[in-house]
């Protein structure tokens, strides 16, 4: 029997603003779509956090035994500088500045995107479609919206008629915005726009003579609207109605709102059962912004080549830091926070290293089965990774107590403990054991063990000054010696 039959998830649905019992449309199967990057620059660290949140959700759904089709797109055309349908295509603009082909820009930053996500141990999605690979589907979708009376053509461009749509549907149902309020807070058109109303949005834009990326259509040589792309790709691979649509909080309006409208207008139904949104990543208490200098990219954070953080941080430490906050909470990236996460991460890894050498007894002083269910309860509560991590540290405390002889564990409980803690740390949270992934960790262990041996000899010779000197200098280097009846071990800070 699959775990999803006994472990029932409650997730927060942005559409209803409530936590709901997760019940897939088809039993045992999950269709999940997440809005991917617009590949005109290096991936933003805030985007990494969003994709990491959905990677964790993908991992947990798979762990429970669901067959998941996870679709995450690449936007390689059609995303204008201004979401109000004006300005230049972001990729075209970058290509023009560098005097190269737009697809060179796409290739460069798609490779960067994949490299960064691989560094943070992401699982690949099931399908990664591109906007330019689905032009035909987008043209067909536009035609159906026109045929149903919810779009109009002006000078070769096609616009979605939000006011007409709102007569029979609710535009703003996801973001809880009323069209009347949007009208009141919107400037009047300047007379040069082809739109009937400022709230309307482009489904197809006629390309100016200088626009590089263009495709033939019944209306003009042009390119698709940004909002349209995700509707076409999500429904092609997941059907007209699917389980989960995710993305960053910043996409809720207008992007996801427009997706709902497009699906309703073309297919007569809502596209998604559960809408999920990951929150923002801040830097030192303020919004990340290149213009203000309050910004750090993934490569700078990993290498330590920046003026913001005190040192470089390992990808798994950064991932552990991000998992310490709920995906729906704003997370503040700070040097102190990363440093504390690094210490906690190493405590977890040290506990993993101790498990295999623990002595077992005829009874357990810790109810491992109850603890295991607490791990599931945390994840079942809207993927609450902070509570999961706190629960994992309960096991770390117990492991250290067994090692010190102040607690006991049976062989059967030890097996369950080991399997559970490794499952949640590595399979669900997606962390990597640094000491096992590099020979450098083994070399460090060997060097410290030599110093531990020298310190033991010094103590036997009553040379306590040398013994203390070894301990103190190791502590200054971030290596803490731990003495017990079983001998001396070490942890890294």
The string of pLDDT tens digits covering residues 437-464 is: 444 455 676 788 788 878 888 888 888 8
Structure confidence at residue 192 (pLDDT): 56
**pLDDT tens-digit profile of 144-161?**
999 999 999 999 999 999
Residues 324-334, mean pLDDT to the nearest whole number = 98
Structure confidence at residue 434 (pLDDT): 82
Exposed/middle/buried for residue 89 (C-beta within 10 Å: 0-12, 13-18, 19+):
buried
Lowest mean pLDDT among 233-247, 276-290, 371-385: 276-290
Residues 87-111, mean pLDDT to the nearest whole number = 88
Count of C-beta atoms within a 10 Å radius of residue 375: 21
**pLDDT tens-digit profile of 61-83?**
999 999 999 999 999 987 876 65
For residue 396, what pLDDT band results from cuts at 50, 70 and 90? very high
Rg of the chain (C-alpha set): 27
Select the more confidently predicted residue: 474 or 423: 423
Q: Which residues contact 420 (CB under 8 A, 6 or more apart)?
A: 368, 371, 372, 375, 395
Exposed/middle/buried for residue 209 (C-beta within 10 Å: 0-12, 13-18, 19+):
exposed
| pLDDT higher than 70, residue 486 | no
d(CA 444, CA 437): 13
What are 144's two structure tokens? Answer: 């159906």
For residue 265, what pLDDT band results from cuts at 50, 70 and 90? very high
| pLDDT higher than 90, residue 410 | yes
By the 8 A CB rule, do 199 and 186 touch?
yes
- Count of H helices and E strands in the chain? 17, 17
| pLDDT higher than 50, residue 140 | yes
Interstrand relation of 222-224 and 286-287 (parallel, antiparallel or unpaired): unpaired
By the 8 A CB rule, do 122 and 113 touch?
no
Structure confidence at residue 439 (pLDDT): 41
Count of C-beta atoms within a 10 Å radius of residue 485: 7
For residue 493, what pLDDT band results from cuts at 50, 70 and 90? low
Q: Mapped to the 3 state alphabet, what secondary structure does 403-437 carry?
A: HHCCCCCCHHHHHHHHHHHHHHHHHHCCCCCHHHH
For residue 266, what pLDDT band results from cuts at 50, 70 and 90? very high
| pLDDT higher than 70, residue 394 | yes
**pLDDT tens-digit profile of 294-327?**
889 999 999 999 999 999 999 999 999 999 999 9
Count of C-beta atoms within a 10 Å radius of residue 250: 14
Q: What mean pLDDT value characterizes the chain? A: 92
């Amino acid at each position: 029997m699959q775990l999803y039959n006994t472990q029932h998830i409650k997730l927060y649905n942005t559409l209803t603003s409530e936590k709901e019992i997760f019940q897939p449309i088809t039993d045992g199967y999950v269709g999940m779509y997440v809005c991917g990057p617009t590949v005109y620059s290096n991936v933003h660290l805030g985007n990494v956090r969003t994709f990491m949140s959905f990677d964790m959700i993908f991992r947990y759904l798979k762990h429970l035994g669901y067959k998941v089709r996870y679709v995450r797109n690449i936007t390689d055309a059609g995303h204008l500088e201004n979401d109000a349908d004006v300005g230049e295509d972001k990729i075209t603009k970058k290509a023009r500045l560098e005097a190269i082909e737009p697809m060179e820009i796409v290739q460069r930053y798609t490779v960067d995107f994949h490299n960064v996500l691989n560094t943070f141990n992401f699982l690949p999605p099931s399908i990664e479609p591109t906007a330019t690979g689905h032009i035909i589907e987008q043209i067909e979708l536009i035609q159906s919206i026109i045929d149903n009376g919810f779009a109009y053509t002006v000078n070769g461009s096609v616009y979605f008629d939000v006011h007409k749509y709102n007569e029979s549907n609710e535009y703003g149902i996801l973001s809880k915005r009323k069209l009347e309020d949007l009208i009141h807070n919107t400037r009047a058109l300047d007379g040069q726009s082809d739109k009937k109303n400022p709230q309307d949005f482009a489904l197809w834009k006629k390309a100016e003579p200088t626009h590089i990326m263009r495709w033939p259509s019944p209306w003009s040589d042009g390119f698709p609207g940004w909002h349209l792309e995700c509707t076409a790709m999500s429904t092609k691979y997941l059907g007209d109605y699917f389980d989960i649509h995710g993305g960053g909080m910043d996409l809720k309006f207008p992007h996801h709102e427009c997706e709902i409208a497009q699906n309703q207008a073309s297919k007569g139904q809502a596209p998604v059962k559960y809408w999920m949104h990951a929150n923002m990543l801040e830097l030192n208490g303020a919004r990340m912004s290149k213009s203000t200098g309050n910004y750090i990219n993934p490569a700078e954070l990993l290498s330590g080549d920046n003026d913001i953080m005190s040192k470089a941080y390992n990808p798994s430490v950064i991932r552990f830091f991000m998992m310490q906050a709920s995906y729906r909470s704003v997370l503040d990236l700070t040097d102190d926070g990363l440093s504390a996460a690094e210490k906690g991460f190493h405590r977890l890894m040290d506990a993993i290293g101790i498990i295999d050498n623990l002595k077992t007894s005829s009874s357990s002083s810790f109810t491992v089965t109850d603890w295991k269910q607490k791990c599931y309860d945390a994840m079942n509560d809207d993927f609450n990774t902070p509570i999961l991590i706190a629960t994992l540290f309960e096991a770390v405390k117990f492991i250290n107590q067994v090692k010190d002889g102040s607690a006991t564990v049976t062989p059967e409980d030890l097996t369950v403990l080991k399997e559970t803690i490794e499952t949640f740390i590595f399979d669900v949270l997606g962390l990597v054991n640094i000491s096992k992934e590099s020979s450098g960790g083994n070399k460090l262990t060997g060097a410290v063990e030599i110093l531990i041996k020298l310190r033991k000899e010094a103590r036997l010779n009553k040379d306590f000054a040398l013994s203390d000197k070894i301990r103190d200098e190791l502590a200054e280097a971030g290596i803490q010696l731990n003495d017990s009846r079983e001998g001396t071990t070490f942890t890294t800070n």
